[in-house]
Amino acid sequence: MKRTFLCPDLPERGAALLPPGESRHLATVLRAKPGDEVRLVDGRGRRAVARFVGMEGSSARVDVMSSERATGGSGPGGTRIGLAAAIPKGARADWMIEKCVEAGLDVYFPILTKRGVATAEGAAKRARWDRIAAETAKQCGRASLPELLEPRPLADVLALTVSWPHRFLADHGGKSASPVAGDALVFVGPEGGWAPEERSMLEAIQALKLGPHVLRVETAAVLGVAALAGR
């Protein structure tokens, strides 16, 4: 069985119980049988190989045979990959989260821009983003879940990311990504473009070219994350 399941209380070895939702998927949807091998992650950097023992009420009992702790982020050498992007409208934001996590996103800084079509997201939508990110990370076999932060104005995001060694700005006038060592982050503006005052704040950020065409926010975000993850 190649599926990965989330087990927040994951021991190095021995018995563990999966949460009810994960247990239901394992036992009812996939119809696991005692002895089947499963892969587990705790969302905080530990991954493990275990065997399904059976159900205890609404929880699946597994026996962890081996585990290891992953260090750092999804980028080269365990570096972190960040995205600071305007929020796409509606379902396009969900798609962006899913595909960016697949591409290697570790931290998302949503930006409230002057010309953006989406504003601060409500609690329900943020909860959906978290579910999408967690499910996607599991499907990819990632040991750590990406961090999705609260939406903030550009000035605040710039201040929060000042310690990142490498910050890039998705822009037609930039250059393709080149090998750099350390955590890296890409800024992606709204489809209406950065406002003049926002553009002035970004003058010191190195421009990064993602292709010859004009891109939607979510497309540029995925290409930007993939470019940094593949350095």
User: Distance (Å, rounded) from C-alpha 79 to C-alpha 99?
Assistant: 19
Q: Which CATH superfamily is domain 4-69 in?
A: Hypothetical PUA domain-like; domain 1 (2.40.240.20)
The whole-number pLDDT of residue 119 equals: 61
CATH 3.40.1280.10, applies to 76-229: yes
Q: pLDDT by residue (tens digit) across 118-169? A: 665 666 777 889 899 988 988 888 878 888 988 889 999 999 899 899 999 9
Q: pLDDT by residue (tens digit) across 19-34? A: 898 898 899 888 999 9
User: Distance (Å, rounded) from C-alpha 141 to C-alpha 46?
Assistant: 11
List the domain boundaries for the chain. 4-69, 76-229
Q: What residues form DSSP beta bridges with 4? A: 39
pLDDT-derived band at 1 (thresholds 50, 70, 90) equals low
- Of the candidates 33, 38, 69, 67, which has an alpha carbon nearest to the alpha carbon of residue 51? 38
User: Distance (Å, rounded) from C-alpha 190 to C-alpha 193?
Assistant: 5
Tokens, residue 157:
């995001």
Confidence check: pLDDT of 196 > 90: yes
Burial of 203 (0-12, 13-18, 19+ CB in 10 A): exposed
User: Distance (Å, rounded) from C-alpha 84 to C-alpha 217?
Assistant: 11
Of 83-92, 125-134, 215-224, the least confident: 125-134
Percent of the chain exceeding pLDDT 70 equals 91
To the nearest whole number, what is the mean pLDDT of the chain?
A: 88
User: Distance (Å, rounded) from C-alpha 119 to C-alpha 116?
Assistant: 7
